Structure 1
């Protein structure tokens, strides 16, 4: 049983507010898989990270979920890009490594740094009350040595954001991991934090939206939540107290996944 541990081509789905409706707060989520371990064939000598940082500055997302990066990519390039995008606001960052099955130690990039996922977010200075972080490996894992994990950050009183990268070897296993996170882990975090709603999960799920497939990505979406996908394996799932506006994909030269932007608003 798993154990919780604290620790951007077309726009679709544009919603036009009703006349006289109060303006909701913009809340944009950017999902990225940067293929920066140094091991995979899509690796481009680290150039995906500054490319992603430029995209963050350009789009100014409120939340960024990132897969396949090295630990120092966050404080060196990605979090500073968020600070540039949101001067005067509070920016948090949390990196969680994938774990080795044989030793329990972090999986390493070829540069020797820990390899894994990250959540980077912004909260207005006036609303910031600190953050608490959560990570663990999934109970269900494939036979390889890399054990998949999740990274979650609770920005106290504001939102809960999570990033994950699910099994690439087995769709049934990826679905089991996805359901574990969405149906079990996140409700437990909410209970522990005394927080409801305003939750966004982004990641490379290694699942597609396909209603004819038992491993349809939609099958890991709990009641009260909405899923939006990039047409492939990247998805963003959010609680339905956050309103959907549109999605957009951004071609990236130095990774094999597009930047996937989901425009949301929250009360």
Structure 2
């Protein structure tokens, strides 16, 4: 059963939340907000979960797939099957996705993760960017909504439902595309968020980043009764540059760690997750590398 709840997460965002469970939600601090619907879709296991010695590993794959059809990096949709192949090969626990169309996840990317983890639950949450002039979703050239998504796996034995949170930042640049975030809480297991920040203003991108990591995420964790177990990934349009006031490290809260791809993609995770290593994967049909961060979950 899906129940929608008006939970405002913070003054820094216009936020929405949808609960996919029978539990009564908490209420996060913050003022009232404008809401629209979000739904986390969960794929049930296709066969019994295998026993594996790597059960505690928690790998996050960050992908910007440039699939709107508008940007010059667009390659007629070929980045989506390329990403699906990478997901099957790498077998991440979590994938954060930018610049995709609404059907890309259920049609190819979520099935790829289900194939990688056939005995477990796979969830996905897509959230569109919003047009400033109309308040409606930004569209890909194929007519589908354009935005971000989180895609994740929960071991069958640990699955207790998924709660979906998303919203639009209050701080925006002057362009028509207003940036958003998508967060999914796999109950009792982990919180994952994906975002794509302003490309035309680094000060705005930093303000958005700080809104998500210093404001939104703590309020979600408070509402859900969660401590730690959080991973946030995305194209932040910020670099790690200590000589620049818009340094990506300036949106990392105490108790968290950031790992970057040497460019504008970053993954920020709570310090209870143990860092292992990173790997970049060259992609032929998008202008960003695939960026894998290997963690061990507490």
- Asked if these proteins are the same fold (TM beyond 0.5), I'd say yes
TM-score band w.r.t. shorter chain: over 0.9
The Cα offsets for residues 89-124 of structure 1, whole Å up to 9 and x where unpaired, read as 000000000001111110000000000000000000
CA distance in 2, matches of 1:103, 1:197: 37
- From 82, 91, 107, give the equivalent of 1:51: 82
* Matches for 1:29-40 after TM superposition, within 5 Å: 29-40=60-71
* Residue equivalent to 2:267: 236
* Residue equivalent to 1:81: 112
**Is the CA contact 1:24–1:265 (under 8 Å) kept in the aligned structure 2?**
no
The Cα offsets for residues 43-65 of structure 1, whole Å up to 9 and x where unpaired, read as 00000000000000000000000
Q: Does 1:5 align with 2:16?
A: yes
Q: Does 1:116 align with 2:116?
A: no
- From 189, 208, 218, give the equivalent of 1:177: 208
* Residue equivalent to 1:258: 289
Q: Does 1:28 align with 2:59?
A: yes
Q: Does 1:66 align with 2:97?
A: yes
* Residue equivalent to 2:190: 159
**Is the CA contact 1:92–1:121 (under 8 Å) kept in the aligned structure 2?**
yes
TM-score by length of 2: 0.84
**Is the CA contact 1:24–1:266 (under 8 Å) kept in the aligned structure 2?**
no
Give the SS at the match of 2:156: coil
CA distance in 2, matches of 1:23, 1:159: 17
The Cα offsets for residues 135-181 of structure 1, whole Å up to 9 and x where unpaired, read as 11000001111000000000000000000000000000000000000
* Residue equivalent to 2:72: 41
Give the SS at the match of 2:195: strand
Instruction: Report the CA distance shift for 1:44/1:142 in structure 2 as closer, same or farther (over 3 A).
Output: same
The Cα offsets for residues 169-225 of structure 1, whole Å up to 9 and x where unpaired, read as 000000000000000000010011111100000000000000111000000000000
RMSD: 1.1
* Residue equivalent to 1:227: 258
TM-score by length of 1: 0.93
* Residue equivalent to 1:105: 136
**Is the CA contact 1:91–1:121 (under 8 Å) kept in the aligned structure 2?**
yes
CA distance in 1, matches of 2:14, 2:241: 31
Q: Which runs of 5+ in 2 are unaligned?
A: 1-10, 19-52
Q: Give the CA deviation at 1:4.
A: 2.7
- From 239, 242, 248, give the equivalent of 2:279: 248
Q: Which runs of 5+ in 1 are unaligned?
A: 8-21
* Matches for 1:10-21 after TM superposition, within 5 Å: none
Q: Which runs of 4+ in 1 moved over 3 A?
A: none
Give the SS at the match of 1:140: coil
The Cα offsets for residues 31-50 of structure 1, whole Å up to 9 and x where unpaired, read as 00000000000000000000
Q: Give the CA deviation at 1:24.
A: 7.7
